[in-house]
Amino acid sequence: MDRFSLAWGRWVTQYRAATIALSLLLAFGVASGGQFLTFTNDYRVFFGSENAHLQAFEELQDIFSKNDNALIVLAPRDGEVFTPDILAAVADVTERAWLIPFSIRVDSLTNFQHTTAIGDDLEVAPLVEDPESLTETDLSRIKAAALNEPALLSRLISPDARVTAINITVELPGIDEATENPRAAAAVREIRDYVETTYPNLEVYLTGIVMMNQAFVEAAMSDTTQLIPAALAIILLMVFLQLRGLTGTLGTLIVIALSVIAAMGTAGWMGVRLTPPSMSAPTIILTLAVADCVHILSNWLQKVREGLGKQEAMAESIRINFSPVLLTSVTTAIGFLSLNFSDSPPFHDLGNISAVGVMFAWLFSTTLLPALVTLLPAKPRQSRSLITEMMTRLADWVIAHRRTLMPTVSLVIVALVLVIPRNELNDVFVRYFDERIEFRPHTDFVVDNLTGMYFIDYALDSGESGGISDPNYLAQVDAFSNWLSDQPEVMHVSTLTDVFKRVNRSMHSDDPQWYRLPEERDMAAQYLLLYEMSLPYGLDLNNQIDVEKQRTRLSATLETLSTTQTLAFEQRSYDWMRQNTPALLTTAASPPIMFSHIGMRNIVSMLGGTTFALVAISLLMIGALRSWRFGLLTLIPNIAPAAMAFGLWALVDGEVGLGLSVVAAMTLGIVVDDTIHFMTKYLRARRDRGLDAAQAVRYSFATVGVALWTTTLALAAGFLVISTSAFSVNAEMGLLVAVVVVLALVVDFLLLPGLLIRFDRWL
């Protein structure tokens, strides 16, 4: 391999113009695939097509009309909804909401279909008509009716009558995903702007599935425009401080840029649809690409200081670093490729794009970078840097104190591993976004003042066509509805039994005693038919009953819950139905249910990914180091950092979400980089130079210590920048990866040297 790598180095430095031209041609040719990149803003993309909970939800939506929505919430500054001006504003917004692209239904206080008795007839009419002319008596009547109507309370009107909402149900065609949701969201925001201008007494808040989908886009765009420039600036500053020259820094910048555009271009050729997780790939690639450049340039500068010419020094640097840099790139790529075991497709894309970017970074750092920096003027400083002196002193200190460091670091590792079980799977999917994204503060206001974003649907089957009018069936549905309403997490229940009760009362002269279910099937069917025939277009019951009138949809709106709480509620409701209404037994379906299950599914699936990465990397290490003993020894510094990081996370936070479930597998390929570079230098000293174990450790510190220090700082800085993401899945992932990277350096510097010296005879 040394002969090949030396020949490689001499070729790229001898034919520099050709190397640069071929590298640029390859990079820009592949990057042209970027024109095919698209961004998806559908939350369903987080779930694979085989996901059982996604399938259950889509089956439910196929039976009934879809309930994806946008919610426009109006909060009068004086705190009173039931005034002529405010109700007129609600009616105005309701009419305008019908014009939102893809809207199929609009529900509000003003168009709620209120039933009253007119003699022996049933009148179904909007609750509010001609709002500007309402008298105080009218307003009191409307307010009383609204606050006593289960279909409205804690859904479209708050219990204190200070906040109201207009709910727009949309059905996106799914023909052009890139534009459909943004068009609907933009139209909703246009209404918001109109209201704020026309009705200055109203505060407007926007939430719902449409706005959440748009928040995914905005979070990704925020990361792209803010995180990538910040990470690039910080990393290049570190590289400049390490290399102390513009030539190496410029070369590193070009390698980073070409690696990123080539990786994203490959994603375009592959037909990848970008999501917030996969949009963090450019930041990850530019962070990882630095490591290859630093190792090659550090040894090049060292050889130049020793008196070699620029081209000869570069050829020697490539000879020394070719194998370890290739090995670290392959192991890093394996770590990212293991994300394909994830149960969430966006992490497949993140892993694949990052893996491709890492390999392009290796290619360009061993071709374009050597050709470029030897072509450009460079005057390496002759003096040894302070940090180099510190590495020498650190090596002496570690060797001298190895008998203390080994048990101490080992005990710390064991202690942190023991607390890992304290971590608990917990996600709150509406809090995937921080306050910088409009959706988050608006949703928090709505949850605190009106209704919840979490809803759970149940498709309750009567077992026969027309069976929803069966009194026995209705009694069971009503019992389940009442049980749900009594649960502390439930803010609102939408159920067909309330419609039957309301119509039954109206058919008996609005006598409150008749607010109960009809006792005869024929009567219930007639009431339902009469009510449906009285409803205007767009406000039918298709969102609650199927075409055959065999099933009804029961929806429970919940307060914001964690993953654990949501799953507990799902199980509790299932157990209640099994014990009390077994004929109706069904599973719940909704986005909160899907997001609550995906975290656990992802952890289970990533156990396979982590195992795959560990086995593959270990086999590579054994082959590269030409010793199964050395290969097994490296398992300790490779596994320990992630284990320690999760132990620290248990002590500091203790909640593991979707983003953290992929960290162990992903970082396994990253942290092995330090071990590979340290071990290859150690073995070169032992085998080629005939040094003893302690001297070989000093050699490793002297030749690669500064580079490891620099790359660790760069990696940590890059992932810490990701930790500032507006998307919490990326932020948590970035933070924990940064911790793992730092711990990897600590283990490699403080524990690995002692292990090498202690087990030298066995190795």
Look at domain 1-30+245-378 and name its CATH class. Answer: mainly alpha
Q: Which residue has the higher pLDDT, 219 or 70?
A: 70
Token readout for 47 is: 């779930």
Is residue 320 over pLDDT 90? no
For 387-418+598-763, give the CATH class.
mainly alpha
pLDDT class for 657, splitting at 50, 70, 90?
confident
The string of pLDDT tens digits covering residues 602-626 is: 888 888 888 898 888 888 888 877 7
**Is it true that 1-30+245-378 and 387-418+598-763 share their CATH fold?**
yes
Write down the mean pLDDT value for the chain: 91
SS3 state at 69: strand
Average pLDDT of the segment spanning 251-262: 95
> What pLDDT is attached to residue 379?
64
Give per-residue pLDDT as tens, 511-563: 899 999 999 999 999 999 999 999 998 899 999 999 999 999 999 999 989 88
For residues 493 and 554, is the Cβ–Cβ distance under 8 A? yes
**Rounded distance, CA 698 to CA 710, Å?**
18
Does residue 495 sit in helix, strand or coil?
coil
- The pLDDT of residue 309 is 84
CA atoms within 13 A on the CB side of 205: 23
Predicted local confidence at residue 385, as pLDDT: 59
Region 33-51: mean pLDDT is: 88
pLDDT at 383 over 70: no
pLDDT digits (tens, 9 = 90+) for 689-705: 888 999 999 999 988 88
For residue 244, pLDDT beyond 80: no
Residue 477 is predicted with a pLDDT of: 97
DSSP E strands in 393-438: the ranges are 424-425
Reported as a pLDDT band with limits 50, 70 and 90, residue 261 is very high
- pLDDT category at 431 given cuts 50, 70, 90 is confident
Distance CA 613, CA 617 (A): 6
- Any idea what the Cα angle at residue 204 is, between residues 198 and 209, rounded to 5°? 130
Stretch 285-304: mean pLDDT: 87
Q: Could you please report the per-residue DSSP string of 77-117?
A: TTS---SHHHHHHHHHHHHHHTTSTTEEEEE-TTT-EEEEE
Average the pLDDT over 11-40 and give the result.
Answer: 93
Q: What is the pLDDT of residue 650?
A: 93
Alpha-carbon distances, residue 74 vs 78, 202, 559 (angstroms): 12, 6, 19
Per DSSP, the residues of 684-706 read HHHHTS---HHHHHHHHHHHHHH
| Confidence tier at 600 by pLDDT (50, 70, 90) | confident
Contact call for residues 214 and 78 (beta carbons, < 8 A): no
Residues 653-657 have a mean pLDDT of 85
- The residues near 624 (Cβ < 8 Å, ≥ 6 apart) are 323, 327, 676, 680
Q: What tokens does 245 get?
A: 């020259």
Query: Mind listing the pLDDT tens digit for each residue in 388-419?
Result: 788 889 999 999 999 999 999 999 999 999 99
For the cut 70, the answer to whether the pLDDT of residue 763 exceeds it is: no
Q: Is the pLDDT of residue 303 over 80?
A: yes
Q: Is residue 113's pLDDT more than 60? A: yes
Residues 6+ apart with CB under 8 A from 180: 101, 102, 172, 173, 174
List the chain domain ranges.
1-30+245-378, 52-211+436-589, 387-418+598-763
The pLDDT of residue 460 is 96
Q: What is the pLDDT of residues 161-191, one digit of tens each?
A: 999 999 999 999 888 878 899 999 999 999 9
For residue 654, the model assigns a pLDDT of 85
